[in-house]
Structure formats: C-alpha cells, structure tokens
Structure 1
C-alpha cells in the first residue's frame, strides 16, 4: 500500500509552521449513489471515478467507527462544537433511521460540553412528512439542493430515466417550509449566469429558506466553468479587464438582498464577505484565509479531503487513510490538508500581492487547479471575485458614510 502521508504528485505544498487546526466539520457519505442524474454533476460526471469502486451505502460498522473517531477528535482537541453533515449521493437513500442512529451515536460518544450540530443535505425528492419528523426528532436539520425555485431553473436535475425532479423536489421543499420550519436548514444553489439573478433569488424566497448558500460551479483552468472567456493566462489577477458573468450575477443578487428592509433570508457568501471587509473572522471555502476544517468519510470508511477537489482530477481528494486504522489527527498531517491550512503561504504569487487577499483569500482551492502546475494559480473566478468584493465594499461604504467617527 502507498504511503498515506506522501504528497500527491500534483499537490502543491509549502512549509507550514503554524500548528494544524482541528477538524470541526465532518462530512459523512452515508450513501454513495444518487437517485438523480444531474447533467452538470461534478461528482459522477467529472474526472474522478473513485466512487465506482466503493459500496453504495456505508455499513453500520463504518458509521459507528466514524462516530467514534469524530468523538475521539473532539475530545483530543476539547472542541465545543462539531458539525456532522450527512451527505451523498442522496443520503436519504440510506433511510432516516440510519441517519438518526449516526447522529445519536455521535452525541452519546461526544465529550461533555461538546455540541453536535447535525444536518442532512438532500435533493428533497425523497422528503415525506414521516421522514422529516424522524430526522427532526433526532435533532437533524435538513438542507436542500435546488437550482432555483421554478421548474425552468431545474431542467438539468432529472432522474436516471430523464424524468424531471422538480415536482417531487418542490413538494419536499414546501413540506419542509410549511410544516417543519424548525428543521429547515436552508437551500444550496449553484450560480448559473444564464438565469435572471433577481428572478431566481425571489423564486427561492418563495420556498422560505432561513438561509441560502450560493456556490460557484466547480471548474478550473483545465476544465473551465461555462461562460468564462479568455482563460489562457493563469497569472492574470485583479484588474485583468476580463468579463465577469458570475460576479455580475452575484452583485445583482446582493443589491436585491442588501437593503435591511428586504433582508428576507441569510446568504452566507454575502455575510462572510461583509464580515471580512470589516475585519471579522469568517469561515467559508470561497473567501478569506481561515484554514480548512472540513474532512470527508466515504462509504467504505476512507478519510478524504473535501469533494470539490474531485472536480480537478481522478483521486484528487484521496489521502490513503481510513477510520479503522487512522485518526483524524493523522489526516491533519497529510500534506494536502496541511496545504489547505497554510493560509497565504499556499497561494500563487499574484494572490499574495493582491490588495484583496485578506477578503478573497485566493478563492476556492479547487478552482485554482491547472493540470500543468496543480493549484499554484489564482482562482479561475479571480476577476469575478474581485467584482463581487469591490461591489460589496462600495455598498458597505455607502451605507456607513453617515456614521459618526
């Protein structure tokens, strides 16, 4: 077996002098298959093929051991909070009982004073009143993934027979909003600049999410996201003059969301950007320099880096570790994780010299990839991120212009 601590040949690391930051978010793949076949899915349609050799569902032994390892890590680092994210595939294919058992076991094993925040991320097609009730009874909140709040927004989210998922997904989302609001964690949506940003945002508001998570599609310099022009020069940073379709889309949503009287829901990307602009700490993969604190447990018990890396190349998230033979402290020592926790030291020279560094943080790690040199690049969304950060900074300056010194 290969040395699990050896760096991947395409990984880029720098000397790391700061001690590692313990993991606080544990993404457990309770089911490794999905009942949908979304046309853009980076996990099943992208370059990574490791899912094919793994069991469809995590066994009780894997889930029990994962809970024990998470509790062990929380105890070793005296963590006050841990996030348990039950993911897939489509996690509800495992059944609500198995999800509840995992959350219960972790809470039983967690050290005194450590709160477990459990959430399941689902496409909402399998939500029923009984399933939601079971999850809520066991303290599991429910986040849903949609491309928007209208049928036209979700045409790429079809099942394996090509049938649209929207009727079932919208039923599940409304059931959650209407009858179980306390269990509703929010909606995750991937930005599509071909849509009308304000229409899409307001359509999601109709589903009454307590929070929205707006994500840029996973793309990179080798496999660019749709609609980005002129990607030949990876050294180009702020001021490049490149068109910014994703940044423009986000700015339009920000302007609709920003006035306090219209703040109908939380949008994490915007809240984190505002926090970073005023000097507060913020924790998101897309912005800022805070070290990564998330780790994945696959259906076979493998410990992996976050799934987004799988959009870069086959095996990009692998560590060679598993919950049966290794601790999460072993994972903290893995070179790939260390690079993700190195802050500005892991960034390209153009990023380290950028005046927006503290806020942008180089963007999402997976979006920096290029086959020739790994992750030693600015984000493929560099110009879009600059557009968003400067726009938010301008709106913040306008809002505080009349404040007393």
Structure 2
C-alpha cells in the first residue's frame, strides 16, 4: 500500500514531468493540437481475466476505486465537455470509443441510451463517429441491432485460433472464451451489416503461437482490418520473452512471418494497421498510430467516474501514470493539452531520447509506443523496450519495398 504514494511522488522527478519545459514551448509559439478521439470507459469491470491485461494485472490497480458502470449523468457531462472542446477548436468530427473493462457489461438498455445521448448532444456541434471495443463474449443479436440503429462500429479482441485465444483470454472460472467470441462474431455475419459495423480485430501477440496460423485464423472471420499489439512492458517490467540488452528479435521474427504471408498474397485479404503504417512512413507519408511514427497523439480517456486521464496503457508503467493535475477551472480537456505528459505525446522528435534521434530510422519508428519507453530511472525518454524488434521489422519491410521498386524499374 505504501508503494503507490512513492510511485506518484517519483513521477514528478521523471521525464516529462521533470525536464520538459512547457512554458518555454509556449514562449516559442508552439500550440498543442486538440483532442479528436475519446475513449469513454462505460464499464470498469470485465467478464474475462486475461493474464496479460494492463488494467487488472499490472502496476496500476485504480480500477478498484472506479464505479462499475458510468452513470447517465456522468456520460452526458462527458459529452458536453467534449462538445465544448469541439466547438472551441472548430473540430469537424470526433471519435468516441465506448470501452471498458468490457463495455457490453452495461447491458442493452444502457448502451442504447449512451449512444442516443452522444448523438443528441454532439451532432449539433460536430460529426460523431461511434465505436465500441469488446471482447465479443456478450455480443448478441440485440447488441448488434443497437449498434446498427445508432451506427456504432464494432471492434473485437481475439488472439487467433482456439488454443491461442484460450491460453490467455479465459474467464474467472478458468474457462476459455474462444467459442463464445466466435458466436458473437457470427452476429455480424449478414454482409450488409458486416460491411457497415465490423471495424476489425485486435490481437495481442504471443510468440508461442504460430504466427501464420494465428493470422489465418483471424482471416477466417473476414475482418476489414487486423491490429497486432505488442504486449505491454517497459524497462522496469520486461515483456514476455524479452531480456534487457539482448539483441534477439523474437517479436520481429513473429511479425515478419505474418508480413511476408500478408504482403505476398495475390490479392488484399485484410488491412494490417502496423504494416500499413510502416509502409506509409517509409514512402514518405503519414500514419496516425501510437506504435510508430511521430504524429501527435490526440486521444483522451474518460473513466467511469468522469475523471479525465491519459491513454490507459500507461497503467502498465506505474500506479498513477495516467493521472492528470488539470485545473478545475474551465474545460478540463483544454487544460489537459498543456500537461507535460500530454505535451510529450505531441512534440514529435523532441520527445525522443538522444539514442533514438541518432538512429537513421527514428522518423519511421518514432521511438516506438510511448508506453514501452518507461524506465524507473528517467521516465519516458528512452528507446522502446522493443527497439531491436522494431528496427528489424522496419528494415525487413523496407527491403521488401525496395526490392519491388528495383524489380519494377527492370521491367
């Protein structure tokens, strides 16, 4: 119990709370970019007990103090806060992602009311794109009908085939969840509804699962997109199968196998966000991703009690890492833009460590996911704990692109 205050006090001694001069940035004329994506935690508990979960199984246990379900009043207040922010910055659209825990635990009636409220309060101000990220276990016909009525795009988390899914994604009785998720995904089967509502699949990487078999198991659900997530870890708490200072690249090796299978397919089978982002950056384009690149992060999280926080993956670093100390005067979103921890996510190359800035691919890698840079010694100004893996993956993708360009020239 005494470790939490210690962590919180140390946060003020680490970068960016210490070392990032926000006032100096103001003097130079730098301005933050407003938030355009909002993760709203409508339920703080989950019906699964995934052993890698950053919310329930890692450093920050603040979920225990949160109300289980967001009240209608808190949700409406959150929408008004977002609407005021959108009006102030003249935002043409905002994305609201209903999240948890497991958001479908709010029940059918509450989900419908939340969607109705969001559209009623925000659509007079800006375009609203609603989404929900679910583990799929509770996804039934009535939930899909609600999503269809209110145009809520559905993303589902699943880790591959049955053995890959059930190794980690079990319920509190220890039973696997695969068959229930498959049944949930079947609710999206009608082609017209699938095309409109199915946002894609989210897969957390486990290198003990066969990579190509995992990818092909996900393809069987005909997803429009797949996102592969590196397990959350950092220099203080190493991810599975990584050793600090080791030059091995187990995660790159795993992803390269999928990339080659995906890239060599005779026709496009699905989008893979990580690969597409790296390709876009290698070709001189832009990629809106937290995992790679240097684009400003413009996302805020609203907890079930209405508290405004940073991206919740930071809970994997230390207790209190998501907390903000915004003034209670004015719109908290406007104030949060000037928090050092938020500014650090928007200043691009200036947030990178000297090691990263001296690297030839730093504009592609972008230092990796901010969460994966944490060290108990100096905060978040470090290379990613996945530095070797990201380097190997980017260089492999770059070499494949270059080979194709050279071949095209010869033809």
Fold conserved between structures, TM > 0.5: yes
Which residue of the partner structure matches residue 249 of structure 1?
254
Residue by residue over 1:270-319, the C-alpha shift from the partner in whole angstroms, topping out at 9 and shown as x without a partner, is 11111111111111000000111110000011000001110000010011
Shift of 1:178: 4.6
Which residue of the partner structure matches residue 394 of structure 2?
389
Which residue of the partner structure matches residue 110 of structure 1?
122
Which residue of the partner structure matches residue 359 of structure 1?
364
Gaps of 5+ in 2: none
Secondary structure, aligned partner of 1:84: strand
Q: d(CA) in 1 for partners of 2:363 and 2:239?
A: 25
**Do residues 36 (structure 1) and 48 (structure 2) align?**
yes
Work out which of the residue numbers 155, 159, 166 in structure 1 matches 2:178. 166
Q: d(CA) in 2 for partners of 1:26 and 1:352?
A: 30
Which residue of the partner structure matches residue 8 of structure 1?
12
Instruction: Provide closer, same or farther for how the CA distance between residues 316 and 365 of structure 1 changes in structure 2, counting only shifts above 3 A.
Output: same
**Do residues 49 (structure 1) and 61 (structure 2) align?**
yes
Instruction: Provide closer, same or farther for how the CA distance between residues 151 and 325 of structure 1 changes in structure 2, counting only shifts above 3 A.
Output: farther
Shift of 1:7: 7.2
**Does the 8 Å CA contact 1:146/1:154 hold for their aligned counterparts?**
no
Alignment TM-score, normalising by the size of structure 1: 0.92
Residue by residue over 1:53-77, the C-alpha shift from the partner in whole angstroms, topping out at 9 and shown as x without a partner, is 1111111111001111111111111
Secondary structure, aligned partner of 1:399: helix
Alignment TM-score, normalising by the size of structure 2: 0.91
Which residue of the partner structure matches residue 132 of structure 2?
120
Query: Is 183-192 or 103-112 further displaced after alignment?
Result: 103-112
Which residue of the partner structure matches residue 153 of structure 2?
141
Shift of 1:100: 3.1
**Does the 8 Å CA contact 1:301/1:323 hold for their aligned counterparts?**
no
Query: Is 175-184 or 298-307 further displaced after alignment?
Result: 175-184
Map 1:131-210; keep pairs closer than 5 Å. 131-178=143-190, 180-181=193-194, 182-210=196-224
Which residue of the partner structure matches residue 268 of structure 1?
273
| Runs ≥4 residues deviating over 6 A | 322-325
Shift of 1:114: 2.8
**Does the 8 Å CA contact 1:107/1:116 hold for their aligned counterparts?**
yes
Which residue of the partner structure matches residue 238 of structure 1?
none
Q: d(CA) in 2 for partners of 1:322 and 1:251?
A: 46
Which residue of the partner structure matches residue 97 of structure 2?
85
Instruction: Provide closer, same or farther for how the CA distance between residues 226 and 365 of structure 1 changes in structure 2, counting only shifts above 3 A.
Output: same
Shift of 1:260: 5.5
Work out which of the residue numbers 274, 280, 283 in structure 2 matches 1:278. 283
Which residue of the partner structure matches residue 328 of structure 1?
333
TM-align CA RMSD: 2.2
Aligned residues: 393
Residue by residue over 1:163-215, the C-alpha shift from the partner in whole angstroms, topping out at 9 and shown as x without a partner, is 22112111112222456312111100011111111110001100111110111
Secondary structure, aligned partner of 1:366: helix
